[in-house]
């Protein structure tokens, strides 16, 4: 599947958000439960996040150009970051609504209908979340993964609220409703902070996960028996794409053609082991002492570029 076709999952998320907003507002309307209102407000966040996901997936699908030679994949992080910010705003709205009810609790009405409608909305969210999570992992889309985790959090939030409403029904303690809404807000804050943190780290060119780096190193180890060595391995991710660079040290007596063929083979193997990766290699003679002195992450920071000295 091409990247641009991932937008169909964003449209699915948009449709789900609209449906669950209607269902949860209906549940709030018949019960007057502030817990269900908090759940409905979070669904508005889901809709905003889905619209943002659609926009950023469309941008991320653009082909590289002269101004963006490495592509537009990082646009996905703006979506997950914006979703984190919207989640925090939703949490503030929930607290604004719940705190007055904690002081002056209100009776709940028609709980059976409200709970039934909320369960139906949660079932819709659960099905869509599973679909988005599967697609996000398969196509390495942080936008779809973030949306999926948000929807799953919404499912668990709804479950907690429904449990609270049932508890109010059996105990008659009305303050349980706003208290659960406050707990929901706290959970939403946690999710929002996690999304903002992950987006910030990825925008700062964090290295690939340790598991993927181990796969790269295992691939490179197969060449050591042929007298080829490596250093200055650097990695970063940008949405669904990975960027990998390294220095390849070969015997100094090799011809340019032989060295070139080796690099082509190494790059091909790495791309096969890390799908969606762009690999950049730099050839050096293993017999030259200077070749072993330029493996700092940044010569401008790490010291003098000894190779050119």
Residue spans of alpha helices (H) in 139-234: 142-171, 176-203, 210-221
What length does the chain have?
A: 309
Using the structure block, give the residue that is written with the tokens 């053609």.
Answer: 257
Tell me the per-residue pLDDT of 227-265, one tens digit each, with 9 for 90 and over: 899 988 999 887 778 899 999 999 988 999 999 999 999
Residue 280 has pLDDT above 90, yes or no: yes
pTM (predicted TM-score): 0.62
Mean pLDDT of 102-108: 67
Tell me the per-residue pLDDT of 21-52, one tens digit each, with 9 for 90 and over: 888 788 778 777 666 676 677 678 778 888 88
pLDDT in the model for residue 297 = 54
pLDDT in the model for residue 309 = 35
Distance separating alpha carbons of residues 301 and 213, to the nearest angstrom? 24
Distance separating alpha carbons of residues 46 and 40, to the nearest angstrom? 10
**Does the domain spanning 210-302 belong to CATH 3.30.70.1350?**
yes
Mean pLDDT of 149-156: 77
As a whole number, the mean pLDDT across the chain is: 80
With a CB cutoff of 8 Å and minimum separation 6, the contacts of 159 are 122
Q: For 21-35, 53-67, 200-214, which range has the lowest pLDDT when averaged over its residues? A: 21-35
Delimit the domains of the chain by residue range: 3-203, 210-302
The CATH class, in words, for 3-203 is mainly alpha
Query: What sign has the CA pseudo-torsion 150, 156, 160, 162?
Result: positive
Distance separating alpha carbons of residues 278 and 270, to the nearest angstrom? 9
């Amino acid at each position: 599947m091409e990247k641009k076709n991932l937008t169909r999952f964003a449209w699915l998320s948009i449709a789900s958000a609209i449906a669950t907003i209607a269902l949860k507002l209906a549940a709030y309307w018949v019960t007057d439960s502030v817990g269900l209102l908090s759940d409905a407000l979070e669904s508005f966040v889901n809709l905003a996040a889905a619209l943002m996901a659609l926009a950023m997936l469309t941008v991320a699908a653009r082909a590289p150009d002269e101004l963006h030679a490495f592509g537009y994949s990082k646009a996905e992080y703006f979506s997950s970051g914006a979703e984190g910010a919207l989640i925090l705003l939703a949490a503030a709205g929930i607290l604004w609504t719940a705190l007055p009810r904690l002081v002056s609790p209100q009776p709940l009405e028609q709980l059976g209908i409200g709970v039934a409608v909320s369960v139906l909305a949660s079932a819709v969210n659960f099905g869509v979340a599973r679909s988005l999570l599967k697609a996000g992992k398969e196509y390495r889309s942080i936008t779809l993964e973030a949306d999926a985790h948000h929807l799953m959090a919404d499912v668990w939030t709804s479950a907690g609220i429904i449990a609270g409403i049932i508890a109010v029904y059996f105990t008659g303690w009305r303050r349980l409703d706003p208290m659960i809404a406050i707990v929901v807000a706290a959970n939403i804050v946690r999710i929002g902070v996690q999304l903002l943190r992950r987006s910030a780290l990825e925008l700062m060119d964090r290295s690939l996960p340790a598991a993927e780096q181990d796969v790269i190193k295992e691939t490179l180890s197969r060449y050591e028996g042929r007298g080829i060595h490596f250093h200055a391995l650097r990695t970063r991710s940008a949405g669904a794409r990975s960027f990998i660079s390294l220095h390849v040290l070969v015997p100094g007596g090799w011809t340019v053609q032989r060295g070139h063929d080796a690099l082509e083979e190494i790059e091909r193997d790495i791309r096969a082991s890390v799908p969606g990766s762009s690999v950049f290699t730099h050839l050096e003679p293993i017999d030259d002492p200077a070749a072993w002195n330029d493996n700092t992450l940044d010569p401008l920071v790490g010291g003098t570029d000894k190779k050119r000295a």
